[in-house]
């Protein structure tokens, strides 16, 4: 059984930083694309970033230049370093494994339970 457990969310002031982690169990992530999505209240789940097995990273326009996705296959963990946070980054952030369609589409095989990120002004 595959489980993804996110951690690292919290409350931060605008301009601050947070680092999210997603620990996987039940499957080795080394050969899978891993991704982060987010969902704000009343909005659809949206793509944030993804990383493939060669450490090639994909970013949304809003994440580019501010967020960095990385993976540690030895720890079976993927990370999202978020800097220069803005109020509009407030959302629940979800980790996902194994896209079943386009990488930027929320059609992944496995999802974590999410971690709340709140950015205050």
Which helix (DSSP H) or strand (DSSP E) does residue 35 occupy?
strand 34-39
User: Quick one: pLDDT at residue 94?
Assistant: 98
How far does the chain reach from its first CA to its final CA, in angstroms?
40
Q: What is the C-alpha separation between 121 and 119, in angstroms, rounded?
A: 7
Average pLDDT over residues 50-75: 97
User: Quick one: pLDDT at residue 48?
Assistant: 98
State how beta strands 67-72 and 77-82 pair: antiparallel
pLDDT confidence of 59, banded at 50, 70, 90?
Answer: very high
Average pLDDT over residues 72-76: 95
pLDDT tens digits, 2-48 = 999 999 999 999 999 999 999 999 989 999 999 999 999 999 999 99
pLDDT tens digits, 94-121 = 999 999 999 999 999 999 999 999 999 8
């Amino acid at each position: 059984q595959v489980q993804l457990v996110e951690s690292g969310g919290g409350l931060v002031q605008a301009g601050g930083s947070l680092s999210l982690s997603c620990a996987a169990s039940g499957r080795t992530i080394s050969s899978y694309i891993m991704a982060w999505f987010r969902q704000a209240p009343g909005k659809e789940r949206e793509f944030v970033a993804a990383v493939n097995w060669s450490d090639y990273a994909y970013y949304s326009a809003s994440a580019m230049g501010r967020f960095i996705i990385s993976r540690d296959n030895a720890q079976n963990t993927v990370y999202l370093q978020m800097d220069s946070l803005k109020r509009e980054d407030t959302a629940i952030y979800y980790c996902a494994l194994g896209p079943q369609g386009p990488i930027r589409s929320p059609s992944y095989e496995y999802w974590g339970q999410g971690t709340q990120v709140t950015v205050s002004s």
